[in-house]
């Protein structure tokens, strides 16, 4: 357990399917940050850590296709939140682990997959998911999960559940401290507030 893994062992998923309510209805992943769309920065940092990078988006699929290996939309209508994007993830039984991040954190750690994997596999096989913490805050959407976790999503969503934290509470999870990562998990909204 805990042995090093190469990117070939991980699928990657960028969640960019939101309604952009806090961004005035704009497509958040395509908002400009330092001269490029947010998703471009996230993709650039995530791609070396994964074997196949997919993007969940409900608008501008043709644009997002330029930043991932493939794109897909939610099965559910009406912008049901990040879990709807995760629930629609195409299954591939050849890779056990899925690395998930939101589209608005352009300074992601380059060792995100490695550190989450190391922590997750130090636990018993029954441990399902590892997520990042930094500065005393939990970053539930920055997670590495075993593919089997996805099986519980349809029932959770059908029951009206939308909270990422609420869904994770049903699983066996651990948090991984990225205290030295500084502002790596700051999202675009936080960056805009400081400028």
pLDDT per residue, tens digit, the chain (195 aa), is 445 566 668 999 999 986 555 556 679 999 999 999 999 999 999 999 999 999 999 999 999 999 999 999 988 776 678 999 999 998 766 788 999 999 999 999 999 999 999 999 998 888 999 999 998 899 999 999 999 999 999 999 999 999 999 999 999 999 999 988 778 998 865 444 344
7-194: CATH topology is: Spore Coat Polysaccharide Biosynthesis Protein SpsA; Chain A (3.90.550)
Give per-residue pLDDT as tens, 137-168: 999 999 999 999 999 999 999 999 999 999 99
Global pTM reads 0.90
Q: What is the pLDDT of residue 19?
A: 56
Sign of CA dihedral 3, 168, 153, 100: negative
Contacts of 19 (CB under 8 A, 6+ apart): 25, 79
Distance of CA 153 to the CA centre of its chain: 15
- Distance, in Å, from the CA atom of 116 to the CA atom of 154, rounded to the nearest integer, reads 25
Domain coordinates in residue numbering, the chain: 7-194
Gap between the Cα atoms of 128 and 149, Å rounded = 7
pLDDT for residue 23: 56
Max alpha carbon distance in the chain (Å)? 45
């Amino acid at each position: 357990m805990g042995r090093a893994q190469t990117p070939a062992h991980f699928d990657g998923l960028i969640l960019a399917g939101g309604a952009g309510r806090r961004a005035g209805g704009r497509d958040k992943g395509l908002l400009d940050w330092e001269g490029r769309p947010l998703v471009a920065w996230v993709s650039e940092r995530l791609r070396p850590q994964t074997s196949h990078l997919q993007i969940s988006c409900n608008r501008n699929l043709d644009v997002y296709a330029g930043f991932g290996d493939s794109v897909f939309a939610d099965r559910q209508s009406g912008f049901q939140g990040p879990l709807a994007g995760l629930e629609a993830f195409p299954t591939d039984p050849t890779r056990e682990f899925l690395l998930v991040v939101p589209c608005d954190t352009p300074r992601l750690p380059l060792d995100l997959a490695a550190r989450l994997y190391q922590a997750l596999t130090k636990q018993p096989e029954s441990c399902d998911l590892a997520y990042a913490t930094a500065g005393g805050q939990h970053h539930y959407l920055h997670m590495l999960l075993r593919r089997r976790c996805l099986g519980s999503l349809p029932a959770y969503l059908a029951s009206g559940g939308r909270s990422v934290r609420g869904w994770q509470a049903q699983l066996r999870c651990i948090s991984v401290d990225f205290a030295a990562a500084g502002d790596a998990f700051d999202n675009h909204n936080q960056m805009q507030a400081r400028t």
